[in-house]
Amino acid sequence: MRIVLDAGHGGGKGQGDPGAVDPVQPAEGDMLYTEEDDLAFDIARRAQEALMLSGHTAHLTRRPNQFISLQGRCDLANRLGADVFVSIHLNAGPPTARGFEVFSYPGSCPGAQLRDAILGAIAKAFPDWVNRGAKEANYAVLRGTKMPAALVECGFVTNTEEERKLHDPAVRQRMAEAIAAGVIKYGREKHGRV
Residues near Zn ion (CB under 5 A) are: 8, 19, 89
Q: Which is nearer to Zn ion, 37 or 83 (CB)?
A: 37
Contacts of 111 (CB under 8 A, 6+ apart): 104, 105, 142, 148, 149, 150
Do the beta carbons of residue 186 and residue 148 sit within 8 Å? yes
Q: Which is nearer to Zn ion, 139 or 187 (CB)?
A: 139
Q: How far apart are CA 59 and CA 35, in angstroms?
A: 22
Do the beta carbons of residue 73 and residue 143 sit within 8 Å? no
Q: Which is nearer to Zn ion, 12 or 110 (CB)?
A: 12
At its nearest, how many Å lie between Zn ion and the CB of residue 164? 19
Q: How far apart are CA 178 and CA 180, in angstroms?
A: 5
Residue nearest to Zn ion (CB): 89
Q: How far apart are CA 124 and CA 118, in angstroms?
A: 10
Q: Which is nearer to Zn ion, 9 or 56 (CB)?
A: 9
Q: How far apart are CA 107 and CA 105, in angstroms?
A: 6
At its nearest, how many Å lie between Zn ion and the CB of residue 97? 14
At its nearest, how many Å lie between Zn ion and the CB of residue 129? 18
Q: Which is nearer to Zn ion, 8 or 187 (CB)?
A: 8
